[in-house]
């Protein structure tokens, strides 16, 4: 397939708002893609070059792309900057320049594979002089593309394709391609949960069909499994009614880390890889994991854990913000010496070539206790097994006194299933009958912001609009403008800079009365606390958060991990119990 043909599909997708029509267009595109290119097609339409866990990033800032456009069309940088200020979209600037200044004789027939290959080469260029080389290579690529292709090729490195769908719709479309419906979506999603590379999945489906493909896909050390998540309940009695026999474990205020271990070593020479819950590899954050093989009694394994910072001065567990200082790539050894870390390990999903995800939790726990030798770095989480609600209440009180966030209650015989499905894991962060009405915080996507008045004008942000997920649609739930410190306002503005969108993103559903001064791309996730959830006729979610307060920025979570409308409805019901 030529990239020009792909660009025509991208234009159709850009103009389509109906979710089912988007699915049909994607199914048509996949049907016309061959086995050798469909994975590249999938990555590109999602604005990527490879799966997230691979760590492939463009590192092409707007200023670099402005220079690339100037070089491609032999014009002054100032002219491109002027056009960008007017258009607010570098993709549109590229489209206009290509129409106005395209020289005759250029080849417009680069294939999807060729464009993907060139973009991957640009992204992979590192070291001294790499910025100039990236600009030069990007400029050359742009100069050989037709106007429509230029629009999308420029938007991809900026993360601004704005097509309004994600991996979930791609999975729907793969089912639609084969069956004309979403009937096999569940099968594909099960495979995706174990191996979240939607490009590879598309290639397998294209080659072998859905039924055979899902049989072939197994967990692999070095490829993160989508994490299992906890539901919310306040009543220990209800927990036992729903789950019967349970494990009760402490809930830590840490960073969810999936540890992949391979005694023979990965291709880069390391023996351990660490992934956050949003699938980003963060092995560099944890130099302590070097030499971890002396604590592990197997050849290969995938562990689920919580990384907890330790305050060396107080000899106590650190809070989430302190733990997150590890995300600074510079001077990580120095930071590690100030904030040491331990990994509280609570699950084992894979061992020595065998997937354990379908084993009951109590069996996985037993194997885990045999695999990890007693040590202070990898600490197997304590638990109690019970069928008594009173025991759950007692353990909750004990953990709160110890400074924990609360407890996690896990069904004794549950399989490891990605996401929040069924009553397998439940978290409890306050005692039953506590005065607070809202049982948990809400993870929201920042949708836009307004300038405000008075002192806040100097911050650049006066209040911000946030939403939750309903499928792939982001629906509003509250505006936040109080309860922030000056430092938080400045930090918010810093994080939103560069995320601004000229128009409302296609995935947003917002009442006109709530529209902010500036829209932002769905990228930043914030944790919001509130007094209660109320029914709202104005917010598109149908609910509002009363007296919302910013708790923290959740840089460990991607937008697709934000609270869903189903979860919010559960929280709404819980506060009435």
Could you give the count of Cα atoms lying within 13 Å of 472 in the half-sphere of its Cβ? 20
Of 137, 158, 179, the position where a domain reaches its end is 158
- pLDDT of 325 reads 63
Q: Do residues 239 and 322 both lie within one domain?
A: yes
Kindly tell me if the per-residue pLDDT of 261 is higher than 90.
Answer: yes
Q: Is residue 542 part of a domain?
A: yes
**Measured between alpha carbons, how far is 423 from 413 in angstroms, rounded to an integer?**
11
Q: Are 277 and 418 contained in the same domain?
A: yes
- pLDDT reported for residue 313: 58
Of 428, 458, 473, the position where a domain reaches its end is 428
pLDDT cut 90: percent of the chain above it:
69
Q: Is pLDDT of 527 > 60?
A: yes
- Tell me how far apart the alpha carbons of residues 524 and 526 are, in angstroms, rounded to a whole number: 7
Round to the nearest angstrom and report the end-to-end CA distance of the chain: 57
Average pLDDT over residues 241-270: 94
Domain-located, residue 420: yes
Calculate the average pLDDT of the chain: 90
- Supply the DSSP symbol for 88: S
Nearest to residue 72, comparing CAs of 32, 106, 29? Answer: 106
pLDDT at 311: 65
Closest of 427, 467, 446, 447 to residue 571, by C-alpha: 427
d(CA 294, CA 273): 16
Structure confidence by residue, pLDDT tens digits, 87-99: 889 999 999 999 8
Mean pLDDT value of segment 311-321: 60
Please say if the pLDDT value at position 508 is more than 60: yes
Does one domain contain both 395 and 470? no
CA quadruple 402, 408, 412, 415: dihedral, nearest 10: -140
**pLDDT value at residue 105:** 46
Q: Is the pLDDT of residue 216 over 90?
A: yes
Q: Quick one: pLDDT at residue 468?
A: 97
Comparing 431 with 215, which gets the higher pLDDT? 215
CATH number at residue 534: 2.40.50.140
- Which domain covers residue 62, as residue numbers? 47-158
Structural tokens at position 105: 């004789």
How far, in Å, CA of 318 to CA of 307, rounded? 10
Confidence of residue 59 (pLDDT cuts 50, 70, 90): confident
Where among 361, 395, 428 does a domain terminate? 428
* Residues 59 and 151 placed together within one structural domain of the fold: yes
Q: Quick one: 242 and 383 in the same domain?
A: yes
Closest CA to 519 of 448, 467, 460, 452: 448
Q: Is residue 12, in this structure, part of any structural domain at all?
A: no
Q: What is the pLDDT of residue 485?
A: 84
pLDDT at 328: 59
Tell me how far apart the alpha carbons of residues 188 and 182 are, in angstroms, rounded to a whole number: 10
pLDDT at 232: 85
Nearest-angstrom CA–CA distance, 543 and 186? 29
Q: Rounded to an integer, what distance in angstroms lies between the CA atom of residue 204 and that of residue 517?
A: 45
Taking residues 293-318, report their average pLDDT.
83
**Is residue 475 located within the same domain as residue 413?**
no
Is the pLDDT reported for residue 484 higher than 70?
A: yes
In a domain, 182, yes or no: no
Same domain, residue pair 286 and 423 = yes
266 & 366 share domain: yes
pTM confidence score: 0.86
Confidence (pLDDT) at 577: 63
Do 402 and 255 share a structural domain? Answer: yes
Domain count, the chain: 3
CA gap 178, 187 in Å, rounded:
13
Active site residues: 251
Angstrom distances, CA of residue 240 to CA of 230, 251, 278, 281, 386:
15, 18, 31, 36, 9
Alpha-carbon span 293 to 261, nearest angstrom: 8
Question: In this predicted structure, which of 21-35, 107-121, 188-202, 246-260 has the lowest mean pLDDT?
Answer: 107-121
pLDDT (0 to 100) of residue 573: 85
Task: Give the integer Cα–Cα distance in Å for 441 and 124.
Answer: 39
DSSP string over 8-37: HHHHHHHT---HHHHHHHHHHHHHHS-TTT
**Residue 290 and residue 403 in one domain:** yes
Confidence at residue 150, expressed as pLDDT on a 0 to 100 scale: 95
DSSP string, 218-234: ---TTSPPPPB--EE-S
Helix, strand, or coil here: 126?
coil
Which phi-psi region, left, alpha or beta, contains residue 203 (left: φ > 0; alpha: ψ -120 to 50)? alpha
Are 222 and 259 in contact, with CB atoms under 8 Å apart? Answer: no
Looking at the domain assignment, is residue 408 inside a domain? yes
- Reported as a pLDDT band with limits 50, 70 and 90, residue 234 is confident
Q: Is 416 within 8 Å of 347 (Cβ atoms)? A: yes
Helix (H) or strand (E) holding 509: strand 508-509
194 within domain boundaries: no
Residue 76 belongs to a domain with what CATH number? Answer: 1.10.3260.10
Residue 315 lies inside a defined structural domain of this protein: yes
Same domain for 256 and 379, yes or no, is yes
- Is residue 235 assigned to a domain? yes
Domain shared by 367 and 462, yes or no: no
Task: Write out the two tokens for 146.
Answer: 């037709």
**Domain CATH number, residue 305:** 3.30.470.30
| Among 359-368, 398-407, 467-476, the least confident range | 398-407
Q: Which pLDDT score is estimated for 188? A: 96
């Amino acid at each position: 397939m030529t990239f020009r043909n792909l660009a025509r599909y991208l234009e159709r997708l850009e103009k389509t708002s109906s979710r089912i029509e988007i699915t049909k267009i994607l199914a048509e595109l996949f049907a016309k893609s061959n086995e050798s290119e469909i994975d590249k097609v999938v990555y590109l339409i999602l604005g990527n070059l490879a799966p997230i866990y691979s760590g492939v990033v463009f590192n092409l800032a707007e200023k670099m792309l402005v220079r690339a456009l100037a070089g491609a069309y032999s014009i002054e940088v100032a002219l491109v900057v002027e056009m960008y200020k007017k258009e607010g979209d570098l993709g549109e600037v590229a489209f206009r320049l290509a129409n106005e200044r395209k020289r005759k004789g250029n080849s417009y027939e680069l294939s999807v594979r060729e464009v993907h290959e060139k973009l991957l080469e640009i992204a992979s260029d590192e070291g001294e002089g790499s910025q100039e080389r990236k600009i030069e290579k990007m400029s050359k690529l742009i100069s050989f593309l037709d106007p429509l292709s230029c629009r999308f090729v420029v938007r991809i490195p900026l993360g601004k394709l704005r097509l309004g769908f994600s991996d979930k719709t791609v999975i729907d479309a793969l089912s639609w391609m084969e069956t004309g419906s979403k009937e096999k979506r569940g099968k594909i999603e099960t495979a995706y949960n174990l191996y979240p590379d939607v490009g590879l999945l598309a290639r397998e489906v294209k080659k072998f069909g859905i039924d055979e493909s899902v049989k072939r896909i197994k967990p692999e050390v070095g490829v993160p499994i989508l994490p299992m998540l906890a539901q919310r309940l306040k009543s220990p009695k209800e927990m036992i009614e729903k789950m019967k026999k349970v494990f009760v474990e402490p809930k830590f205020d840490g960073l969810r880390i999936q540890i992949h271990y391979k005694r023979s070593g990965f291709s880069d020479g390391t023996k351990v890889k660490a992934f956050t819950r949003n699938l980003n590899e963060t092995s560099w954050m944890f130099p302590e994991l070097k030499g971890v093989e002396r604590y592990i009694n197997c050849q290969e394994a995938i562990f689920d854990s919580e990384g907890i910072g330790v305050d060396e001065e107080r000899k106590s567990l650190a809070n989430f913000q302190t733990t997150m200082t590890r995300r600074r790539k510079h001077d990580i050894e120095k930071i590690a010496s100030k904030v040491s870390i331990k990994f509280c390990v609570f699950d084992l999903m894979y061992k020595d070539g065998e997937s354990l995800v379908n084993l009951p939790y109590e069996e996985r726990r037993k194997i885990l206790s045999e695999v990890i030798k007693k040590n202070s770095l990898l600490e197997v989480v304590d638990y109690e097994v019970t069928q008594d609600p009173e025991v759950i209440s007692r353990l909750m009180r004990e953990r709160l006194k110890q400074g924990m966030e609360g407890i996690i209650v896990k069904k004794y015989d549950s399989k490891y299933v990605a996401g929040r499905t069924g009553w397998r894991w439940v978290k409890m962060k306050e005692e039953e009958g506590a005065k607070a009405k809202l049982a948990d915080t809400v993870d929201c996507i920042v949708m836009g912001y307004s300038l405000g008045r008075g002192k806040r004008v100097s911050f650049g942000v006066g209040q911000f609009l946030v939403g939750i997920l309903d499928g792939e649609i982001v629906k509003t739930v509250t505006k936040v403008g109080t309860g922030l410190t000056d430092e938080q306002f400045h930090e918010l503005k810093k994080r939103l800079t560069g995320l601004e969108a000229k128009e409302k993103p296609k995935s947003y559903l917002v009442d006109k009365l709530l529209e902010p001064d500036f829209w932002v791309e769905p990228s930043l996730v914030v944790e919001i606390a509130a007094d209660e959830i109320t029914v709202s006729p104005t917010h598109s979610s149908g609910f509002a958060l009363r007296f919302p307060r910013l708790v923290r920025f959740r840089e460990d979570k991607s937008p697709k991990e934000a609270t869903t409308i189903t979860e919010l409805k559960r929280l709404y019901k819980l506060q009435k119990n």
